[in-house]
Amino acid sequence: MRGEAGRRLAIVIPAHNESSRLSDLLRALEPAGQAFASRWVIVVDDGSTDGTVSAGRSAGAIVLRHRINLGKGAALLTGCEAARRLGADLMLLMDADGQHQAADIPRMLEPLLTGKAQVVIGVRRLAGQMPAPFRIGNRLLNATIRTLFGIKISDTQCGFRAFSSSVFPALRWEASDYAVESEMLIRMARARLAYVAVPIATVYHDRYKGTQPLDGLRILRQLVVWRLRA
């Protein structure tokens, strides 16, 4: 990949009770970003009650802890703030449950390294392995975001994202829950940041984890609130 030399990469992973999958993910990440001048993997343990902290530390990651569960958005914010303090030039966000593949990282970073984009959004196929409830909910949220904000992205809820640290202040979200993905897109559009959508693998190990129907309703409500505030 071109452009890594002299760059510093931070991979931010929010995790809540993901010890069983986190170790595999962190092992897969070992080769990722080795060409960068510096590379950090930051795991934010969001009030886990299992061995998530031990799994992260055993793999050599920087592990930050929330003593109570604050939500995905809060965990991502903690990790990104830490990445900025470390001096990262690029931030890559990944889920801890194995949905996001290390093999997709080069394609996620390439638009940033070549100056094609300031933000990169991973997009999955809304078919096949994606369970039907998630597929239906995602399409509903995609349509709502397109209608209310004019943002045309085929997978608005995917958490696999990357951006230049210089635009983090413009993206800096307030949502502490799963609405973080939607808020990030809205802030991106309002700041007129250049973005690229990159196809990634569609992987689901758990049919009932992640954004649940009640979470989706909360996101829909929040989207309306954000639109009214605008």
What residues contact 223, with CB distance under 8 A and at least 6 apart? 141, 144, 145, 148, 149, 182
Mean pLDDT of the chain: 92
pLDDT for the residue numbered 216: 81
**Domain boundaries of the chain, sorted by first residue:** 8-229
Strand ranges for the chain from DSSP E: 8-15, 38-46, 62-66, 90-93, 119-123, 161-164, 195-199
Sign, CA torsion 222/224/225/227: positive
Write out pLDDT tens, residues 37-90: 999 999 999 999 999 999 999 999 999 999 999 999 999 999 999 999 999 999
Q: In angstroms, rounded to a whole number, what is the distance separating the alpha carbons of residues 50 and 220?
A: 31
**Phi, psi (deg, nearest 5) at residue 151:** -95, 115
| Low-confidence residues in the chain, pLDDT < 50 | none
Topology (CATH level 3) of domain 8-229? Spore Coat Polysaccharide Biosynthesis Protein SpsA; Chain A (3.90.550)
Return the structure tokens found at 58.
């055993």
| Secondary structure class of 140 (helix, strand, coil) | helix
**Closest of 141, 128, 124, 130 to residue 186, by C-alpha:** 141
The whole-model pTM stands at 0.91
pLDDT for the residue numbered 138: 84
pLDDT for the residue numbered 134: 74
| Secondary structure class of 224 (helix, strand, coil) | helix
Q: In angstroms, rounded to a whole number, what is the distance separating the alpha carbons of residues 139 and 133?
A: 10
Whether 61 and 43 have beta carbons less than 8 Å apart is answered as yes
First to last CA, the chain: 39
